[in-house]
Amino acid sequence: MKNYNYRIYLRAFEFDDLLLLNKWRNDDEIYKFTGGNKYFISTEYDKKWIEKKIFNKQSNIYLAICLKENNDLIGYLSIINIDYRNRKAEWGGIIIGEKAMQNKGLATEAGHLMLKYIFEEINLNRFYGFWLDNNKASLKMAEKLGFKREGLLRSSVYKLNSYHDQVIMSILKEEYNCTL
C-alpha cells in the first residue's frame, strides 16, 4: 500500500456521538444518496442503536470518522453482513455528515482506511456493496478505490416517490493489493 498522509482516523463510536449521529441519520440531503429507506429516528432510538454498535461487532462494524487536526467527528462508516467463514463483507456506506467537510476527498480517505482494515486486519477476501445508480460521486469514489462493477439491480430501491437502480460492485483482496 502506498504511504498516504491521511487527514482522518477511524475510532469506535462513543455515547457522546449520539446527537451528531442522530442529526446525520435524519438529514434529508444525506438520505437522498443512500440506498436505505426513510425513517424518522428519535434520539431515544439512536441511544439503543449506538449501544448495539459499540457492544456487538461480530457481523457489523460501525466506526466514527474523525479529523486528525482536532479530533472532531465528521462522519461514520459501516461494514455490514460480515461472513467470516466465506471471508466477505458488505459495504454499509460512508457518511461525511459535516457539510463543511464534504467534497474534500475525506470519504475516499475513509474508504482507503476501511479497505486496509478489511483486508489487512480482519483478513477478508471479498468486499462488495450496492450503490444508487444516480449517485455518480459515490460510484466514482468506489471505482477510484478499486471496486469493479458486477451488475445492475433494476428498480431495487423505492424512495423519494420512485424506484431506483442499484449498481453492485466488489473488490477482492488481490485487487486491493494491486491498487493501493
Q: How far is CA 36 from CA 26, 95, 119, 142, in A?
A: 12, 13, 26, 18
SS3 call for 45: helix
What would the pLDDT profile of 121-135 be if each residue is shown by its tens digit?
Answer: 999 999 999 999 999
Task: Specify whether the backbone of 160 is left (phi greater than 0), alpha (psi in -120 to 50) or beta.
Answer: left
Is residue 44 one of the residues assigned to a domain? Answer: yes
Is this structure's pTM higher than 0.75? yes
* pLDDT tens-place string over residues 49-91: 999 999 987 899 999 999 999 999 999 999 999 999 999 999 9
Domain contains 147:
yes
Q: 146 to each of 75, 118, 141, 172, 180, how far by Cα in Å?
A: 22, 14, 9, 9, 8
In a domain, 3, yes or no: no
- Counted residue by residue, the chain has a size of 180
CATH assignment at residue 143? 3.40.630.30
Instruction: Count CB neighbours of 46 within 10 A.
Output: 19
- The answer to whether residue 145 is domain-embedded is yes
User: How many Cα atoms within 13 Å fall on the side-chain side of residue 125?
Assistant: 5
Domain count of the fold of the chain: 1
C-alpha cell, 39 = 425513517
Helix (H) or strand (E) holding 11: strand 8-12
The pLDDT of residue 100 is 95
Domain that holds residue 44: 8-179
31 domain-assigned: yes
CA distance 133 to 114: 22
**Are 149 and 166 in contact, with CB atoms under 8 Å apart?**
no
Instruction: Write down the pLDDT at residue 178.
Output: 60
The predicted-structure confidence for 25-41, as pLDDT tens digits, reads as follows 888 887 777 777 777 88
